[in-house]
Amino acid sequence: MALEFLEQQARSRVVALGPEQARQEALLAAHVRSSLGSAP
Amino acid sequence: MNLSPSSERSTAHVVVIGSGIAGAAASIAAATVTPSVVMLDGGSGASTLATGAIDRVFWKDSQEEPAKALSEGAQAIVAALEGYVVPVLGCAVVTMAGMVRRADGHDAALLDVSALGAGRVGVVDCHRPGWNARELARAWGEGYAPFESSLLRHTDESLLPDADLAARHDDAGRLGWLAERLREALARARTRWTGIVLPPMLGVERPRAQALSQSVGLPCGEAVGSPGGPAGLRFESARDRALSSARAVTVRARASAVERYGETWRVTTEDGLVLQAYSVVFATGGLIGGGIAYAPSEALLATALPPHVKPPLQLTLSAPVRLGARGRLLEAPGSLCGFAPEALARPFARDSLVEAAGILAEGLESGQSRDGRPRGLFAAGDVVADAARAWLGALSQGAQAGADAAQSALSRATVASGAKPAIGPAIRL
């Protein structure tokens, strides 16, 4: 039961980011912070 | 220095991994203590993407924190780099995103608008990508107005990337031509101008704002531009000059592994070079710089559960250090598939994990480990967990880590050889 639940949970997670997207996201955040002073 | 693989002479006192601002500061600081410093330069990273406004912490946060003076070591690095201004009370710069923002310091090519007298600041009206003098002047506020002047000499210059246009102004003749155009425009103008803001274009080798200001007779300087502009290239030039004066050896290579080797450390590079060092400083950069990589579990793409838990953020070289964020190890995600994406990324998390994760500095030492045996691993800059990803903060950390690493290496090298170590030629600061 518990394992089923965990498996369901794990499968339901979306792949939000790939490695390059993660890097782009960090760069975008840094740039916006530098120019606007706030996070996007 | 002989850098042949595994040879006795390739033992350095300090090896610094990374050539961004943290690595450069660490190398320069270490070189004032010992002549035996090697910096591994794995290519451009976040420091080369810097835009010229430099902060200790994120600048919005700094409004809540009292301004702290830079340490003597950090001041010495700023002076050695020649080309950065860090006023005691901070400064204000204008950005191409339409903001007037405070900063702890700035690249000397940028205009510090807080230091200008009464009057209007001219925003040079010219055809450059992302530059609209009228809109920028309106966004920056009442003290700004468009300033009519033709400062593009060739037709291609309305489309050239910022860095290429900036490189043209490294030439004294071209800078003189620019100063002449500005002087002519000033003579025609009826307004009393107190300073002139230009697009990012004032030099790549060195900041040319001071020379231009002297020639024009009015403070001139750049606005903060986008990543990948001339400010990042000026950092690289300033770094290379400072390292060469400090006589630190730079090796163009990416480190792939750091491992214990008796009382020393062995650093292996991707092309097979092996360096031995008493102290190693990790200044590889974080997610932007390439020191940390996001590597989600492959099982996320499959239907099966992964065989074991794997942290989604990893160091890009193999080393006996622990990664973490917010004071905790990264090895305890809530699911077998790793962290929930909401914890990792915006817009779900304000304080996202991709910005906080890094080497847990607590596990490293600046003197001796718990069992009394010297260890000699140090970290600085974006690769450190929970550190503000800010330029001046990384410089301060690097200066401290470099000095500590060199002291630690010297004391252990003395014990190892039984001889008095030679103190290297200190750089003039």
pLDDT tens digits for B97-136? 999 999 999 999 999 999 998 889 999 999 999 999 999 9
Cβ-defined contact of B97 to A11 (cutoff 8 Å): no
B2 pLDDT band, cuts 50/70/90, is very low
pLDDT at B282: 95
- B contacts of A11 (beta carbons < 8 Å): 303
Instruction: Output the pTM of the full model.
Output: 0.87
Neighbours of B425 (CB within 10 A): 12
Secondary structure of residue B41 in the 3-state scheme: strand
Would you give the distance in Å from CA B32 to the centre of its chain?
20
Q: pLDDT tens digits, residue range B245-281? A: 999 999 999 999 999 988 899 999 999 999 999 999 9
- Do B390 and B57 form a contact (C-beta atoms < 8 A)? yes
Distance of residue A1 Cα from the nearest chain B Cα, in angstroms: 15
Most confident listed range (B71-80, B288-297, B314-323, B381-390): B71-80
Tokens coding B375: 């260890």
Comparing A13-27, B143-157, B304-318, which segment has the lowest mean pLDDT? A13-27
B192: burial class by Cβ within 10 Å (0-12, 13-18, 19+)? exposed
- Other beta carbons within 10 angstroms of residue B98's beta carbon come to 17
Specify the pLDDT at position B191: 84
Chain B nearest-CA distance from A32, in A, is: 9
pLDDT for residue B146 is more than 80:
yes
CB contact under 8 A, A36 and B389: no
Q: Could you tell me where the DSSP H helices lie in B82-171?
A: 133-140, 162-168
Global ipTM: 0.72
The residues facing B250 across adjacent strands are B39
Most confident of B266-275, B288-297, B346-355: B266-275
**What pLDDT sits at residue B229?**
93
Q: What percent of chain B has pLDDT over 90?
A: 62
- pLDDT (mean) for B29-56: 94
- Give the number of residues written for chain B: 429
SS3 state of residue B423: coil
Vertex B42: Cα angle to B38 and B47 (nearest 5): 100
* Interface probe, candidates A8, A21, A35, A38, chain B, greatest B C-beta count within 10 A: A35
User: What pLDDT score does B72 carry?
Assistant: 94
Nearest to B203 by CA among B42, B54, B41, B82: B82
Closest in A10, A14, A39 to B335, CB measured: A10
| Chain A partners within 8 Å of B355 (Cβ) | 26, 29
Q: What is the pLDDT of residue B383?
A: 93
Between the CA atoms of A27, A28, A32 and A33, what dihedral angle is there, to the nearest 10 degrees? -40
Show the beta-strand stretches assigned E in B104-177. 105-107, 120-125, 144-148
Angle at B146 between CA B140 and CA B147, to 5 degrees: 130
Q: Give the CA distances from residue B136 to residues B62, B131, B156, B218, B405, in Å, rounded to whole numbers and listed in that order.
A: 25, 8, 23, 20, 46
Residues contacting B418, CB < 8 A, separation 6+:
none
pLDDT digits (tens, 9 = 90+) for B174-222: 999 999 999 999 999 888 899 999 999 999 999 999 999 999 999 999 9
Please state, rounded to an integer, the average pLDDT across all residues of chain B.
85
Contacts of B354 in chain A (CB under 8 A): 22, 25-26
pLDDT at B334: 55
How many Å lie between the alpha carbon of B345 and the closest alpha carbon of chain A? 8
- Angle, helices B21-31 vs B391-417, to 10°: value is 40
Q: Which residues of B touch A37 (CB under 8 A)?
A: 58-60, 99, 101
CB-based burial, B265-286: b 16+ in 10 Å, e otherwise: bbbbbeeebbbbbbbbbbbbbb
